[in-house]
Structure 1
Amino acid sequence: MKTVGIVVEYNPFHNGHLYHVHKARESAKAEVVIAVMSGHFLQRGEPALVNKWARTRMALQSGVDIVVELPYVFSVQKAEFFSKGAISILQGLFCESFCFGSESGHTAPFLETLQQMETSAHSLEPLIRQYMNQGFSFPKAQTLARESLFEQRLPLDLSKPNNILGFHYMKANKALPHPMEPLTIKRHQADFHEETLGSQSIASATGIRKAIYEQQGQLHTISPYVPAATLNELSHYLNEYGQLHHWDMYWPLLQYRLLSSSTEELAQIYDVSEGIEYRLKEAARFSSNFTEFMQTVKTKRYTWTRIQRMLVHILLHVSKEQMSASIKSVQYIRLLGMNGRGREYLNQIKKKMTLPLITRAASSKEMLTLDLKASEVYALGLSPHSSRVLLHSEFNKQPVILP
């Protein structure tokens, strides 16, 4: 069975994602679409709108055949590590190709840019450090260094978020002993961070989430932009748990963690560096909500996204030592869901797999330490009853299985 892999978050699954699934299957001429999906906390350092089981059901009802989890150590990371984890998992499932959305729409500019960047790495890295020493954030320093070195001659626009991820997918894939075939489709209609819904049928996940929050959970506003399965899952989640997840739910927990930890303890947390722990503690003393805190902490050097990722690691108390020991390579593949075609494919490959395929957390606690901690903290944002329900499903739930 021919397979194509995709890397996703589905926060939530919308019509643009539906287009991606269909075009990936079509472009690869694949029988099976495998999605590597982030768990409860996402790449930009945010809690997912709904839990991974609800998002798995959205995906399976909308054309994906297998959903596996991108472990926490890779999901709440900058693009380089996020991509490395996801691509390694797709290879571990014997995908022949992978497909990503991009502003470019062609793989050639990615390959040409990757070649130029590798050739010039010895000149680029000192320039990046130079700009960071001037107080610029790492992404901005990279951009300025590239502009200085290449004078806009790169074939790929690396200021675009999907192109950045795509570039790192291609880089991670190239490093594999047996690279997969890379495929890309041009991003359709809405920009990555577009906050308005517009008149088209495709809107960004950012715009959809913003509309949901502004309408206080009323879902009719987003119905033109998402499949029926997404509306049903969001509605069911609201009925079962009472709310959708967002950072403000975790502000009291985060504030407690910041205020009760010493600066020395905070400095040991992954991604905390350069004395920012002092700024974090000071802001936590005088901020009344998460947004106010973020506006106080953000600087030219630290992007909103980097700070959010840092705060997730603080919330989960993930140390530098713990992360460095875990991030070296993918250790397992956790199955979240499959349909009949997906089950048939896994039955074909499971004896050849070199990574353990985990179907139930309760039987693999040691291996899933950080993923389980992420689930426990994610559940704490809910009411006590809803939190118990969610935790029970995390430890005991079998993968979602559809016909």
Structure 2
Amino acid sequence: MKATGIIVEYNPFHNGHLYHAEQARKKSGADVVIAVMSGQFLQRGEPAFADKWTRCEMALQNGVDVVIELPYVYATGQASDFAKGAIHLLEAIGSESFCFGSEQGAIEPFLNSYALLTAHRAEYERLIHEAIQTGISYPKALNNAYKALTGSDAGFADLSQPNNILGYHYIEAAKNNRFAIRPLTIQRIAANYHDPVNKDLTIASATGIRKAFFEEGSLEELSRFMPAASIHSLVSFHELHGRFGSWELFYPKLRTIILRERPESLKRFAEVTEGIENLIFEAAKKEAYFEPFIARIKSKRFTRTRVQRMLTHIYTGFTWEQLRSFEKPAYLRLLGMTETGRHYLHAQKKNIELPLVSRAADLNDAMGGLDIHASYMYLSGMGISDLQKEYSTPPFYLASKPAK
């Protein structure tokens, strides 16, 4: 059986994600679609809207055959680390290709960009360093350095676009590690990451969907943007827990942690740097709600996403020492599978390069322990009393696809 991989968050699963899964299968000619999915915390430094089991269920009901959890250390990392972890997992599980959505829509510009930056690495690093010295953010410095090398040549990928940036790093991870996995891309359609919901369309960004829910408080109003199975899963989640994940919900616990730690000890947490710990502490003293709190911290140099990743690590207790101790994923954590996915895993079991783990009890190394702890912190922030859910929840199994 031939497999293709996709790298996802499904926060939540919407019609654009359905299109991606369908097109990945079609473009690759694969029998099986494997999703590497972030767990309880996400790459832009946020708690997930719904827990990883709910999001896994949505994926398997809508075109995905296997869901593997991306470990916390990679799921909450900067783009290059996020990509590195995900591509390692897809290579290890035997995926012949990976397919990402991009603003570019064609793979050749990404390959051209990779070749250019590899050939001119020293100059690129120098340009980045010089740009950072002017006080701009790291992402802006990267983009300025890249533009200086490429000029106006249309043969290179536009790395000012968020999905193009991730796509480039996926290719970089595969090429740098000399993996056999083949890159593919499809055109991202209709809605960009930050776009609000447009009720004249049927595709909206996950960000727009979450924002619309928190403003309007109704999932029914958003049903045109998500498959029916996704709406059903989210309704069930909300009925059970009475809420969805957000920093506004988690902020009281985060604020308590910050004020307990004090500035000098905040520096030990991953990504907290350049004296920003003092700003974080002072903002926590002054603000009782998350939005005014983060507004006091973010700046041109420290983007909202970068600050949120710091806050995620403070909240979970993830330190610089821990971050530096991991080189690559140590296991494949199975969250769920369809019958097709089960057949694939059975056929590939002798070829899979990492331990395939289906129970939290078998995560007996430092990386697995971190995943379990992060899940505890997520469940606690959600007000879920049963923290043993991490141990008691088996992989989701979908024996047959639901009727359309």
The bucket for the TM-score relative to the shorter chain is: over 0.9
Does residue 143 of structure 1 match 2:143? yes
SS across alignment from 2:381: coil
Contact residue 362 and residue 396 of structure 1 kept, 8 A: no
Aligned to 1:196: 197
For structure 2, the residue ranges without an aligned partner over 5 or more in a row are 400-404
- Deviation, structure 1 residue 299: 1.4
Question: How far off is 1:365 after superposition?
Answer: 4.1
Residue 4 of structure 1 contacts residue 32 of structure 1 at CA under 8 Å; is this kept in 2? yes
**Whole-angstrom distance in 1 between the partners of 2:265 and 2:321:** 13
The residue type equivalent to 2:268 in the other structure is: Q
Deviation at 1:259, TM superposition (A): 1.1
Distance in 1 (alpha carbons) for counterparts of 2:149 and 2:106? 24
Corresponding position of 2:402? none
Q: Assess if the C-alpha contact under 8 Å between 2:103 and 2:187 holds in 1.
A: yes
Query: How far apart in 2 are the matches of 1:49 and 1:258?
Result: 23
Checking the alignment, whether the CA contact within 8 Å between 1:335 and 1:359 is kept in structure 2 is yes
Shift in Å, 1:151? 2.4
Q: Paired residue for 1:402, among 380, 395, 398?
A: 398
Q: How many residues get paired? A: 397
Q: Please list the CA deviations of residues 167-194 of structure 1 after superposition, one character each: whole Å capped at 9, or x if unmatched.
A: 0011111123332111110001111211
> Displacement, 1:220?
1.1
1:190 and 1:203 in contact (8 A); partners too = yes
Equivalent pair of 1:197/1:204 in contact (CA under 8 Å): no
User: Are residues 1:55 and 2:51 paired?
Assistant: no
Q: How far apart, CA to CA, are the structure 2 residues paired with 1:263 and 1:179?
A: 46
Q: Report how far residue 29 of structure 1 moved.
A: 0.7
For 1:178 and 1:49, how far apart are their aligned partners in 2?
Answer: 33
Tell me whether 1:325 sits opposite 2:322 in the alignment: no
Q: Which amino acid aligns with 2:118?
A: E
Contact map agreement 2:94 2:351 (CA 8 A) in 1: no
Secondary structure of 1:355 counterpart:
coil
Larger mean CA deviation between 310-319 and 189-198 belongs to 189-198
Aligned twin of 1:106: 106
Separation in structure 2 between the aligned mates of residue 205 and residue 113 of structure 1, nearest angstrom: 28
Determine if contact 2:250/2:382 at 8 Å carries over to the other structure.
no
Write out per-residue CA displacement over residues 148-179 of structure 1, whole angstroms, 9 at most, x where no aligned residue: 33323361111100100000011111123332
Report the Cα distance in structure 2 between the residues aligned to 1:198 and 1:140, rounded to whole angstroms: 32
In the alignment, is residue 73 of structure 1 matched against residue 64 of structure 2? Answer: no
Alignment partner, residue 376 of structure 2: 376
| In structure 1, distance between residues paired with 2:171 and 2:100 | 10
**Preserved CA contact (<8 Å) 1:338 1:401:** yes
State which drifts further: 119-128 or 1-10.
119-128
1:12 counterpart letter in structure 2: P
What residue ranges of structure 1 are gaps of 5+ in the alignment? none
Q: Which residue of 1 aligns with 2:388?
A: 392
1:163 matched residue in structure 2:
164
Contact 1:197 1:208 survives alignment (8 Å): no
Matched ranges for 1:79-94 at <5 A:
79-94=79-94
Instruction: Give the letter aligned to residue 385 of structure 2.
Output: R
Deviations 1:330-386 (A, max 9, x none): 101100000111001101111222311110102324451111111111111233xxx
C-alpha separation between the residues in 2 aligned to 1:267 and 1:4? 40
Match in the other structure for 2:339 = 340
Aligned residue for 1:337, secondary structure, equals strand
**What is the aligned partner in structure 1 of residue 290 from structure 2?**
290
CA distance in 2, matches of 1:352, 1:2: 13
Rounded to whole Å, the distance in 2 between the matches of 1:122 and 1:284 is 40
Secondary structure of the structure 1 residue equivalent to 2:186: strand
2:353 maps to: 354
Q: Is the 8 A contact 2:72 2:374 kept in 1?
A: yes
1:76-109 deviation line (CA, Å, top 9, x unaligned): 0111000000000000000001100001111000
Q: Distance in 2 between matches of 1:237 and 1:392?
A: 17
Report runs of 4+ in structure 1 exceeding 6 Å deviation: none
Return the TM-score normalized by structure 1. 0.96
| Preserved contact between residue 93 and residue 353 of structure 2 (Cα < 8 Å) | no
Using the TM superposition, name which of 100-109 and 128-137 deviates more.
Answer: 128-137
More moved, 295-304 vs 254-263: 254-263
